[in-house]
Structure 1
């Protein structure tokens, strides 16, 4: 029986200058992905990926297309090796490479969609910051408290929202600059191990991104979303994606609704159990290793580890 692979795609924050460079240099398929994305977007993707400063890469209009390019290039190199997914899910931005992996979006469409999504989100974040006299909105990771504790903690704080359900002991909160100051103080008072402001461009997955959702929905109007060809999981529902219509609606809701990552992990674990742990592998496809770490913190991680795949050597060792 052939091995079943689950691909996890990282989200914004995983970016780093130089990502996927060795993969593109060692894989013709990966290099073609980078070149094709350059042609579709009009951007010099090689320069963006490998010569940008961390500050430039942190912008949503740069990081989203760059991370997607790195993830798609890595996936192409894996395909060269005969490794393709039977399940896919992505964290936040990573859901879009997952949509491509599942056949929901074409290559050209996923590139165009991610590029426009990043532009829209960057613009809205800058508008929010301007209204706050330059005190940029963002996200704070609260470590050491349960999801329910964090939800209760942020409820009385205006413009603060539990946004990313990363693990039982790690929840990310979105909000305005001042709201996050209050969240961080309240978290420490509640006994949190740490409350860390993240290097992201805005208050993602919260109602503060409603303007971006409205604009993104208009852009998606004419984009075709097919039914998934493999198991595909949704940040918005925490479960399997049923069809293309649901995926399209979720792509818009995605901007204003929390990422139910722990629910998705449990859903994927159920699929792996059905397929057989000994016949399955979980790969984090793209820059970083955050998702592998989160998977390792779950009860499922003890039975099957997630492997970060972000270098040419890592691919060759599979």
Structure 2
């Protein structure tokens, strides 16, 4: 029985200067993907990935393009060795990598849409910061408290429970003032860590409604095909049934929470019902999703293999 693969694509915060350089050096398809991405985006993506400092790379209009390109480069290198997905999911921005991998978006549309998304979101985040006296909004991971407790504290602190990452980790999203208050409340409630994330906005919260409205207009003429493989959604935490559903979710995605724990459960249930031999890979930078999977009920049955370097791909 041939092995099947599920791809989990990372989102913002996973970026790092220099990512994918070794993969491009080792894989011609990866390099071809980089060139095609640069041509479509209208800029030299190699400079973005390899010559940009960490602070600049954390800007939403920079990091979104960088992470999408890194994930597609890693997927191209995997395809070179005969590994293609039979199921796909993406965390936050990573959902657009999954939309491409599942055939919902073309390569060119994925690049153009994400570039526009990053520009829109960066502008809205700047407006929020300006209204807050120049203090930028953002997100923070709360570790060591149950999700329901974090949601309760978030409501009291004026922030939002944005990402349900694992039973031990929930990400909150809000203004600088709101995050400061939430940190005090979470620490008092026994949180082990309140870790600010390398992102430039209060994503997956109602604070991004202006961006969602503008992004919806940007997507109006973009075709979303029905998925060719099993695709899972952050918004519903379930399998996506159609391109129309995926398009609606792409807009709602900006203001609604990431139901990652539900998505892991849905993917695991799908793989179990399929009855085949499955492996789960994380194409792109970092090891965030492999780490979150370790906290899932499915960690004993499957592990997630990071695929962010040439060495990691070589051992598969």
Correspondence 1:114-193 to 2 at 5 A: 114-158=114-158, 160-193=159-192
How far apart, CA to CA, are the structure 1 residues paired with 2:187 and 2:81? Answer: 47
**How does 1:265-280 map onto structure 2 within 5 Å?**
265-276=264-275, 279-280=277-278
Q: How many angstroms apart in 1 are the aligned matches of 2:294 and 2:141?
A: 18
Query: 1:282-301 maps to which residues of 2 (within 5 A)?
Result: 282-301=280-299
Matches within 5 A, 1:189-228: 189-228=188-227
Q: CA deviation at 1:153?
A: 1.1
**Partner of 2:270: helix, strand, or coil?**
helix
Matched, 1:236 2:235: yes
Q: Aligned ranges for residues 94-105 of structure 1 at < 5 Å?
A: 94-105=94-105
The equivalences for 1:18-167 within 5 A come to 18-158=18-158, 160-167=159-166
The TM-score normalised by the length of structure 2 is 0.99
Aligned-residue RMSD, C-alpha: 0.9
- Supply the distance in 2 between the matched residues of 1:27 and 1:136 (Cα, whole angstroms): 39
Q: Secondary structure at the match of 1:239?
A: coil
1:310 alignment partner in structure 2:
308
2:68, 2:260 → 1: CA distance?
19
What whole-Å deviation, never above 9, does each CA across 1:171-210 have from its counterpart, x for those lacking one? 0000000001110000011111111221210000000000
Q: How many matched pairs?
A: 316
Q: Are the aligned partners of 2:157 and 2:185 in contact in 1 as well (CA < 8 Å)?
A: no
Cα-to-partner distance string for 1:80-115 (whole Å, 9 max, x where unaligned): 111000100000000000000000000000000111
Q: Distance in 2 between matches of 1:229 and 1:306?
A: 22
Q: TM-score, normalised by structure 1?
A: 0.98
The SS at the match of 2:156 is coil
**Deviation, structure 1 residue 275:** 3.0
CA contact (8 A) 1:4 1:275 kept: no
Which residue in 2 is equivalent to 1:12? 12
Gaps of 5+ in 1: none
